[in-house]
Amino acid sequence: MNAGVIAVLLAAGRGTRMGALTDTMPKPLLPLQGRPILEHILLGLRTAGIHKAVIVVGYRGDQIERYFGDGAALGMRLTYRRQSIADGTARAVQLARAAADDQPFLVSWGDVVIEPSQYARLVDTYRRHNADALLSLNRVEDPWRGAAVYIDPDDRVTQLIEKPPRGTSSTPWNNAGIFICAPIVWRYIDALGPSERGEYELPQAITNMIEDKRDVRAMALDGFWSDIGTPEDLAVAQTAYTLVERFGSGVGRGRSSGADASVTNHEASRIEELVARFTQQHGQRPEFVARAPGRVNLLGEHTDYNGLPVLPMAIDRSVLMAASRRRDRLVTASNVDPRFADCCFEISDQITADVAGSWTNYVKAAAQGLVGNGTALKSGATLLIDGNIPAGAGLSSSSALVVASALTLLRANDATIDKMALAEMLPRAERYVGTLSGGMDQAISLLGQADHALRIDFFPLNVRPVPLPAGYGFIVADSLVQAEKAGIAKDAYNLRVIECQLACRVLEQALADERPKIHLSTLGDLVRLFPDRPLPSFFAPVLARLPDEPLPLARVAAVLAVDTEELRRILAIPTSLPDSFAIVRRLRHVLSEAQRVNQAETALRENDIATLGTLMNASHFSCRDDYEISCPELEELVELTRGAGAVGARLTGAGFGGCTVSLVADDRVSDVLAALDHGFYTRRSADPQACRFLFKARAGAGIVELTEDAATTPAD
C-alpha cells in the first residue's frame, strides 16, 4: 500500500444533482475551514505509509491547489484532478485512475473526518485479508442517511443497501465513506450506469462485486467519525462536536461545555433528531443539550458504598436532555420513548416523589439534591429526554439521568458547581429514590476520560485515570434479566449495604484492643486507620466471632452485646428486609474485591493482560458465591464468552440480572460475538444487535450549547 493512491473527494458540484447544494450553497468544507480538515486527512494517510495522493476537487478547487501545492511540505506527493460536475464518486475515482498504476488504492470522502490512526488500521486490515475491497463502517442506530452494510462473523460484507428507507434496516452498520480497493474494482466501475440519482457511485460498484461473490470485507472504525457533507450535518458538527477544539481552527460558535464533553458522531445524530423533535413539540429550539454517559464497571463490585475503590469506564451510550429554561420554577419533562409518561413538578424545598420505580424520580432527585445543597434554583426548565442506555442492564442508566438533570438545572440557572463536588453530592441526591447507592456511577458519568478507566476512591472522592490496553476491547452482554435498583432488586441491594454496616460493627469490636473506641463509618476506614495492613487480613477477626452462614439479627446483636431493636434503629434496618444476614460472606467479597482493584490498576499500568483477566474471573466467582448477586443467565453468558476466547469475564453492575463484561482481544471479538449470538440470544428470539455491545471508554458528561445558525467563517 505504500505506493497506493488516495482520491480525496472534495467535489462540491454544480447544478441540481447535489440536491439542496448549489453554487451558493456548496458542500460546507471550505466555509468550515476545509483546509485543516484536508490536512487532517493527509496526516492520517502519511501515518499509514501512504505518500502519494490524488485530490479530486470541484468547487473552489483552485484554493486547495494553491494551499497544498505538490505536497512536499507535508512529506507527500500530491496531484490534482478537476471534477466539473457532481457526477458521482465512481467518476471522481476514475479521474485518478492513471495515477493508480494498477495497484490497490484507498478512497476517502473529503467530508468524512476520522481519527488519523484509523487509516493505518484500515491498511493493516486490508493487508491481513488481502481482499478485493475493504469498507470502513460506522455504528448508527438506523443507517437511513448512508448505506446500510450487512456483515457476517468473518467481517465479509454480504449486502450493501444505499440510503434505505427509515426503519427498514436490521443492521447497525453504516458505510463510513473510506474504501480500499484492489485493481479488480475498475472492471466494475467501468461497467456502471447512473444510479437513481443520476450519479455513478462507488458503493454501487462494490454492491456488484458482492453479488459476484468477490471477497469484500469491512472494518469498524474506532473513535470519532463525522460526515459533514451537507449544511445540516455541518450544523450538527458545530453544535455537537466542537470542531474548533478538534482541529484548532476558529470555526463554530456552538461549543461544548469543556473539552471533556466529547460527543461521538452517533450522539451528534441523536442530538440533531432530539433538537428537531423538541422544536416540533414545543414550537422553539432548545437552548442546550446535556449529555451524560452510562458506565461499565470493570472491577470493584459493591465496594463504592463501602468506601473502597472501583475501576469503571464511561461508555458510548448516554442520556441526552434537550432543554430550555422557564420563567417559573416548573420542570416539565417528557421522554421520546412513549413507555415513559410525562411529568411536571415545581422546584421547592421539599419535592414530593412519584411512585417507587418511576423514571421521573431521578429528575426530581437532581432538583432536590441541588436545593438541599444550597443551590438557588429560581428557574425551571422544559425537558425532552432521549436515552439509549439499556434500562435495568447494570449500565447506570438511572445515574446518567440524575447527572444530566443536575447539569441541565445548573445551566438553566446560570449556576456552577465543580464537577468533583457535584460527583460527591449526587450520590446523596440519588438516595431520594430509595436506593442506598455509592458514588461510582455519578463519578464516572461526570469525570470519565476517553481511552481510560478511572480508579475511584471515596470519602473523600479521588480519581486517577488508568490507561486501557491497546488491542483489546470490552464486550458487554445483556442477560435480558432486568435488575432495577429502584425496583424489584432494591431490597436485595439494600440488604447487602446493611450487611456491610453490620460487618463494620463486628470489626469495631474485634479491633478494639488495637484501636480503643474505634469507629468505622464504612469498611474503607480500615485503609485510613491501618494504612500498612492488607485488607484481607481483617477477615479472620470477624470469622472468629461469627459463623460463615446467614444469621438472624438477634444473633448478631447478641455478639455485639446490644439490644436487637436498638441495633435495628441505629442502622435504620427496615422491617421489610428478611431476617437473614450473611455478614461473613459479604465481608469476604468486599475486602478481596478492593484488593483486586488495587492489583488490576497495577496490571493495567504494566500491560499485564493475563493478570487482569484472572482478576476479572476471580471477581465474578466472588460476586456469585460470597455476594450472591448472580443469576443463571449471567452464569451462562460468562461461560459462553470465556469459552469463545475472552481473557476474563464477570457480571457487572449491581447484579441480580443486568450485564456481563468481558475482556477480549481484537482478533477474538468476532468469535465471542458469534458465541453470544448463537448460544444465547438466538435461542431466546432476541436481537443480538440490541443486546451485546463492544465498548470503548468515552469522555464524561457535559453541556452542548446550541446556536441558531451555523458559523460562516469564510475560506481564504
CA dist., res. 371 & res. 356, Å (int): 21
- Residue 464 in contact with residue 473, Cβ under 8 Å? no
Task: Tell me which DSSP letter residue 130 carries.
Answer: T
Is 418 labeled as catalytic in the residue annotation?
A: no
In this structure, what are the phi and psi dihedrals at residue 219, rounded to the nearest 5 degrees? -135, 125
> Could you check whether the bond before residue 460 is cis, i.e. omega within 30 degrees of 0?
yes
Compute CA distances 468 → 301, 402, 498, whole Å.
19, 27, 34
Given the residues 111, 386, 441, 457, the one annotated as active site: 441
For the chain, the distance separating the N- and C-terminal CA atoms, rounded to the nearest angstrom, is: 34
Spell out the residues 6+ positions from residue 520 whose beta carbon is closer than 8 angstroms to its own.
504, 505, 507, 508, 526, 529
CA dist., res. 659 & res. 477, Å (int): 5
CA dist., res. 91 & res. 97, Å (int): 10
Compute CA distances 466 → 229, 311, 584, 606, whole Å.
36, 9, 31, 11
What residue ranges in 171-257 does DSSP mark as E strands?
173-181, 216-220, 225-227
Cell numbers describing residue 584: 461473613
Cell numbers describing residue 646: 475472552
Classified as helix, coil or strand, 173 is strand
- Kind of pairing between the strands at 288-299 and 330-335: unpaired
CA dist., res. 140 & res. 526, Å (int): 47
- Residue 72 in contact with residue 144, Cβ under 8 Å? no
Cell numbers describing residue 575: 422491617
Helix (H) or strand (E) holding 602, with range, is helix 583-605
Which is nearest to 474 in space by CA: 613, 632, 598, 629? 613
- Kind of pairing between the strands at 343-346 and 330-335: antiparallel
Which residues sit opposite 648 in a β-bridge?
Answer: 663
Total number of residues shown for the chain:
716
Q: Which residues have a catalytic role annotated?
A: 441
